[in-house]
Structure 1
């Protein structure tokens, strides 16, 4: 009887010992997983902080990319259509005081936009006939080359140094005028 009791206790001890070993193994596994989770949490926390910084930077850039009141924005530029009239040089100066320049039309899409913007009359744009490197030629106010043109039929004429361009006639084409004749104007400000 004592033998049987001993065997029962021994069996019980072995089971408890086995259970203890299993629990220790589980605790060790949980400790490793806890350490992994802690490491992941720290990584995610750093990533979250970096993302918050990026969001703040993007918000700042978005605010910088907004057009001022009264300006319109299609694409990467803001455009301002004047309500008053001035000579070409005065119009150019007004745009420059706003941190802009008279509109420079680089492609057909921009031409269509400026045509729509100027549907109530002709507006000065940033193209004029002037002397550059000893010769007279058409030049944009920002110094970019004149690559694509939208002249009205029969234009341009050589009127000398006092000629600038307006947009747009009834057909949405460029016309040329003496730059000492007052007109409204369109400014352009790149935002990117």
Structure 2
């Protein structure tokens, strides 16, 4: 009975050991040790079980070894797969970025060409403007030179006209040299007839002269000697105030005693000084004509 119970226990332990061996090969030796402790005398029955044990142990070892070798391979494959995936992703990203970069470079190249074209157009336009400016400056210089030439010709014509006029004056003076008296760059004409102040002035104007204008005491003394005991109209009248025929106001006068007065508005000269009389009175007159100074100004 004892043997029977021991045999059942042994078989139960052995079955459990087989189960553990199938699940994990490393526990086989532990099961065998337990079995020896339970029935140390029943070693004669162990050969078959030992063979089975060795077979199971060998199978478990092979399975463990296979698992040990399979895990690195799986990890390596997984790592290769990840690396391959990363390479593919990087390649796709690089290709996309490269295409974008090439497109951007192409756009920049086109913009550069457009900018260069516009720059050349602006440069050509600037050159054209520079040429036009030079042409305008050249024309302006030509016009300026022509204007200077015209001014010179005008001055020459004016000088020739003045020279001709001076010649006519000189001829007139030579033809009537007994009546024109020279003093201090002026010629004076003493009339022998009598006219009103207005008619006397008109006669002087017809001779390219005017009634005398006395500017200094020296000129006054010279004319006083010429006048002698006669009286002559001078170019001085009163139109609200005393003025010379050229419109200049009288500054210094050489009036006789009691003159000027309200009796007349035109002045005549006597040996004693100036006198105011009615302009309608008839008196002799003195014309003054400035000498031609052309040869003095342009000695050529």
Measured against the shorter chain, the TM-score band is 0.5 to 0.7
1:155, CA displacement in angstroms? 1.5
Structure 2 equivalent of residue 142 of structure 1: 246
Q: Tell me, yes or no, if the aligned pair for 2:209 and 2:289 is still in contact at 8 Å.
A: yes
1:106, CA displacement in angstroms? 0.5
Structure 2 equivalent of residue 178 of structure 1: 278
1:146, CA displacement in angstroms? 1.1
Deviations for 1:15-45, whole angstroms, at most 9, x for unmatched residues?
xxxxxxxxxxxxxxxxxxxxxxxxxxxxxxx
1:180, CA displacement in angstroms? 0.5
Structure 1 equivalent of residue 270 of structure 2: 168
Residue pairs, 1:41-190, within 5 angstroms: 64=167, 66=170, 68=173, 69=177, 70-130=179-239, 136-159=240-263, 163-169=265-271, 171=272, 173-190=273-290
SS of residue matched to 1:167: strand
Name which structure has the greater RCO, CA cutoff 8 Å, separation 6+. 1
The aligned length equals: 124
Q: Tell me, yes or no, if the aligned pair for 2:229 and 2:270 is still in contact at 8 Å.
A: no
- TM-score (normalised: structure 1): 0.59
SS of residue matched to 1:112: helix
Deviations for 1:86-118, whole angstroms, at most 9, x for unmatched residues?
000000000000000000001001101111111
1:145, CA displacement in angstroms? 2.6
Structure 1 equivalent of residue 115 of structure 2: none
Deviations for 1:21-71, whole angstroms, at most 9, x for unmatched residues?
xxxxxxxxxxxxxxxxxxxxxxxxxxxxxxxxxxxx9xx69x648571220
Which of the pair is proportionally richer in strand?
1
Q: Tell me, yes or no, if the aligned pair for 1:106 and 1:147 is still in contact at 8 Å.
A: no
Q: Distance in 2 between matches of 1:154 and 1:120?
A: 19
Q: Tell me, yes or no, if the aligned pair for 1:139 and 1:145 is still in contact at 8 Å.
A: yes
1:144, CA displacement in angstroms? 2.3
Q: Distance in 2 between matches of 1:157 and 1:181?
A: 16
Structure 2 equivalent of residue 11 of structure 1: none
Q: Distance in 1 between matches of 2:219 and 2:209?
A: 16
SS of residue matched to 1:89: helix
1:163, CA displacement in angstroms? 1.6
Q: Distance in 2 between matches of 1:104 and 1:144?
A: 10
Q: Distance in 2 between matches of 1:96 and 1:120?
A: 26
Q: Tell me, yes or no, if the aligned pair for 1:124 and 1:184 is still in contact at 8 Å.
A: yes
1:73, CA displacement in angstroms? 0.5
Q: Tell me, yes or no, if the aligned pair for 1:76 and 1:190 is still in contact at 8 Å.
A: yes
SS of residue matched to 2:266: strand
